[in-house]
Amino acid sequence: MQIITTIKELRAWRSGVDQVAFVPTMGNLHDGHLALVKEATEQAAHVVVSIFVNRLQFGQGEDFMSYPRTLDADAAKLAAAGVEVLFAPNEAELYPHVSQSYQVEPPHLQNELCGAFRPGHFRGVATVVSKLFNIVKPNVACFGKKDYQQLAVIRGFVEDLNFDIRIVGVDTGRAADGLALSSRNGYLTEAERAQAPQLYQVLSEMAAEIRAGRQDYAKLEQNAIVRLQGQGWVVDYIEVRHAGDLQIAHAGDAHVVVLAAARLGKTRLIDNLEIHLEA
């Protein structure tokens, strides 16, 4: 596996290969990331994974400085998974003028759900992913469905800005007890980690009720929030949305998604479940 740290070198490598699948990450890789890599290896002959902790998508008071940086361990995992190139630029390489004067501004969706609690986050995501797309020039890019809103934003700007890239959403990786895999799970204390699967359990019960025919989504959302709050969680939101565009779900929608963000102690966890219904 090649480890490339400059845009010039990455572009030189890219000019000599055909079909490329790309997985952008912030490192501290876990099995969920490796599932994206596995999908990428099935999508194209050449796989590039990037590792870059993107300052633009962290808000004031968030964990940019403390976000785990484990490049050596990550590189070993990627080499074992058959990745051809690890692109690991430093901040000066990707943002040579310190501030990014021109940014990609998503529509109203960036201010809803997670965006309501993390102002500017999706602008930062869209901007760095656009830059990486222009550098790597992949044919296919793989993203996890755990970050469902992020996936919707990326699909939106790829379509609107005419990137010739096919976006593949990969199912959420989970621990044996159902907890969605995340680099931030490492922040949980032992007691919090034992409690963390409650979020998935509550969403699963909501999904079961919706599949059984319940369509009073506001009531289901409120019940789930109250239940988690009663167990010590601080809930940012639990909402049922239309899976295609993340607009508010209505009775009769055939494909919905239940999305949630909630905190245990200092750790913010997100999760979601897609639900396909008969029309």
Q: Which residues are annotated as a binding site?
A: 26-33, 57, 144-147, 150, 173, 181-184
Query: What is the C-alpha separation between 111 and 253, in angstroms, rounded?
Result: 23
Q: Does the active-site annotation cover 242? A: no
Annotated binding site for ATP: 26-33, 144-147, 173, 181-184
Annotated active-site residue in 33, 97, 250, 255: 33
Annotated binding site for beta-alanine: 57
Annotated binding site for (R)-pantoate: 57, 150
As to burial, measured by CB atoms within 10 angstroms (0-12 exposed, 13-18 middle, 19+ buried), residue 213 is exposed
Place of tokens 């990455």: 10
Instruction: Give the orientation angle of helix 148-160 with respect to helix 121-136, to 10 degrees.
Output: 60
**How would DSSP label each residue in 131-156?**
HHHHHH--SEEEEETTSHHHHHHHHH
**Phi-psi label, residue 177: left if phi above 0, alpha if psi -120 to 50, beta otherwise:** alpha
Q: Tell me if residue 176 falls in helix, strand or coil.
A: coil
Active site amino acids: 33
